[in-house]
Structure 1
Amino acid sequence: MTELTLKDVAEILVAVRMKLIKVIGIIAVVWALSYVFVADHVIEKVENDLLPEGAKLITQAPLELLMLKIKISLIFGFLAALPYIVYLSYKTLKERTELLKNVEISKSKAVLYAIIAMLLFFMGVAYGYIVMLPLFLKFLYSIAQSQGVLALYSIAEFINFVVLMLAVFGVTFEMPLIMHFLVKNGIVDLSTFKYYRRHFYVVFFVIGAVITPPDVFTQLMVALPMILFFEISLAVVSVTT
C-alpha cells in the first residue's frame, strides 16, 4: 500500500485551501439556521422521548444551555457539509496521491453510495433512538432510584450522551458499505478482515463497555449489533467482490 508522505499532505493542503471557504460557508449557514429553528426542538424532542419518568433535567452553569444549542447546531452544520467534504477528500487524494489510483467512482455510483450511506446511518440512529437509548436511560434511572437518589441530570451531559450513542450506532450501520468499498477497490483485502475477525470482536466489546453502564445486558446490546453487521459485511463483500 502506498504511504502518504509529508509532500503529499502539503500538496493536499494547497489544493483544498480555497475550497475550505465553501465548507466553512455551508457549516456557518446551516449552523445559524439550526440554532434559530432546530436546536430548541431537538432538545425538547429528546427530553420528551428519552428522559425517564421521574428524572429531571437541570443546568449547572449559566451558559450551559446556550453552549448546548451551539453544539447541536454545529453538528447539523457539519452533517450538511459532510458530503462535500468527502467529495473534496476523494478528489484530492485521487489527483494528488496514489492511494486511490485504482479507485474509479462514476457520478451514478457516487450518488448510489451516498443514498445507501444515508439510509444505513439513519437506520442506525433509529435503532439507537427507539430501541437502545430507552433501555440505557431507564437502567441508569433505576440504579439511582434503587439507591434513593434523586435523578437530576445535567442537560448538556444528557444530550451529549444521547448524541454519542446515536453517532456510534449510525457509524456501526455503515460498516457493510465501508467494508464493501475498501475490498471492492483493493484498498484492503477481504482476507485481512477475516484474519482479524476476533480482534474486531474485542474492539466492539470494549466500545460497548466504555459507552454503556456497567451492565452485561446493555453492553451486549451495543456489541452484538456491531458483530452482526461485521459478519453481514463479510458475507456481502464475499458475494459482491
Structure 2
Amino acid sequence: MSNLPLDQQTEVKYDEPVDQTEMSFLDHLEELRWHIIRAFVAIGICTIAAFLSSSIVFGEVILGPSRTDFWTYQMLCKLSDLLDTAALCIDKLPFILQSRQMTGQFTMHITSSFAVGIVVAFPYAFWEVWRFISPGLYVNEKKVASGAVFYVSLLFAIGVLFGYFILTPLSVNFLANYQIDPSILNEFDIVSYVSTVTTLVLACGLLFQLPMVVLFLTKSGLLTPEIMKQYRKHGIVVIFFLGAMLTPPDPFSQVLIAIPLIGLYQFSIMVSKRAFKKREHQLKNA
C-alpha cells in the first residue's frame, strides 16, 4: 500500500501509461508490422470479394453515377416534380465511356475493387492501428481519445456517402454537360472516370475527419475555439486548398466539396467549444 495521499496516488496513476509492459524498439516494430499486416489482409480480402463481385461493384456501384437511373438523379427528378419545375431533373447524361487501352478495363477493375476494399475494411484497419497506439497512451490521453474508432469510422462513412451520392453524381453531370463547342463530343476514358469517382469518394471520407482532429487538438490543449474563430478566414482558404488538392482539377467539384467542409468547420468550432469547456472544468476540479 502506498504512503502517498489519495489525491497524489490518483495523479500518479492518471499520468502513467495504460500498458506499462516494457518493450524494445525492435519489439515495437515487430508488433507494428503485424498490425499493419492484419490491416492489409482485411483490405485484401475485401478487395478480392469486390473483384469477384464485378457485376455489383463495378456494374452497379462504380458505374451507377454514369446512368440516369442512379438514386441521386431519381431523387432530383422527384424534387423537380414537387416544385413543378424541370430545372433539377437530370434525365440525360450526354457522354459515353470508352476503354482506349488494352489493359484499361482490367486495370480499372482492380482499381475500383481496391477502392471498395479500402472503404469496407477501413473501420477494422483503423482499429488495428488504434490497437498499436492505445497501449502507449497515458490515462488522460486515453480519455481524450475515447471512442476514436467509432467516431472516425462514422465520419469516414458519412464522408464516403456524401462523396458517392452527392458530390460524384453532380460532378459527373456537370462535366458531362460541359461543352465549349457542340461539335466536340464527350467520350470519357474508363480510366479517367473511375479515377474521378474513387478520388472524390475517398477524399470526402478523409476530409470529413476534421471534427475528430479538432476534438483531439482541443482536448490536448493545442487548440481553442477562440483560435478557430480568429483564423476562420484562413481556415476557409486552407479548406479550398485541400479541396483543390484532393479532387479532380475542375472548379465545380472543388466548390462542391468546399461547401460541406465549411459547414464542418463551423461544426468543429462548436465541438471545440464544448471540449474546451469540459477540459477547463476538469482542470479546475483536479
TM-score class, shorter: 0.7 to 0.9
**CA drift at 1:231:** 1.4
Q: Secondary structure at the match of 1:189?
A: coil
Q: Secondary structure at the match of 1:203?
A: helix
What is the percent sequence identity of the aligned residues? 22
1:42 maps to amino acid? V
Question: Which of 1 and 2 has greater Rg?
Answer: 2
CA contact (8 A) 2:215 2:272 kept: yes
Whether 1:122 aligns to 2:138 is: no
Structure 1 11/194 Cα, relative in aligned 2: closer, same or farther at 3 Å?
Answer: farther
1:103 equivalent among 141, 144, 149: 141
Map 1:81-96 onto structure 2 (within 5 A).
Answer: 81-95=121-135
Q: State the match for 1:23 in structure 2.
A: 39
Aligned equivalents of 1:94, 1:158: Cα separation in 2: 39
CA contact (8 A) 1:12 1:93 kept: no
CA contact (8 A) 1:57 1:154 kept: yes
**CA drift at 1:160:** 1.2
1:222 equivalent among 250, 257, 263: 257
2:183 equivalent among 148, 171, 176: 148
Q: State the match for 2:59 in structure 1.
A: 44
Aligned equivalents of 1:24, 1:79: Cα separation in 2: 12
**10-19 or 226-235, which deviates more:** 10-19
Q: Secondary structure at the match of 2:34?
A: coil
2:114 equivalent among 56, 60, 74: 74
1:75 maps to amino acid? A
Aligned equivalents of 1:238, 1:72: Cα separation in 2: 40
Q: State the match for 2:170 in structure 1.
A: 135
Aligned equivalents of 1:78, 1:127: Cα separation in 2: 16
**CA drift at 1:230:** 0.8
1:139-163 per-position Cα deviation (integer Å, ceiling 9, x unaligned) = 2222237442111111121011011
Q: CA RMSD in A?
A: 3.2
2:63 maps to amino acid? E
Structure 1 84/42 Cα, relative in aligned 2: closer, same or farther at 3 Å?
Answer: closer
Whether 1:233 aligns to 2:268 is: yes
Q: Secondary structure at the match of 1:103?
A: helix
Aligned equivalents of 2:105, 2:35: Cα separation in 1: 33
1:104 maps to amino acid? K
In the alignment, structure 1 segments of 5+ residues that lack a partner are 1-7
**CA drift at 1:204:** 1.5
Aligned equivalents of 2:255, 2:37: Cα separation in 1: 43
**CA drift at 1:35:** 0.7
Aligned equivalents of 1:13, 1:183: Cα separation in 2: 30
Q: Secondary structure at the match of 1:60?
A: coil
CA contact (8 A) 2:159 2:204 kept: yes
Structure 1 115/14 Cα, relative in aligned 2: closer, same or farther at 3 Å?
Answer: closer
Aligned equivalents of 1:92, 1:187: Cα separation in 2: 23
Aligned equivalents of 1:163, 1:136: Cα separation in 2: 13
Structure 1 127/24 Cα, relative in aligned 2: closer, same or farther at 3 Å?
Answer: closer
Whether 1:178 aligns to 2:194 is: no
Aligned equivalents of 1:127, 1:119: Cα separation in 2: 12
**CA drift at 1:21:** 3.6
Structure 1 80/230 Cα, relative in aligned 2: closer, same or farther at 3 Å?
Answer: same
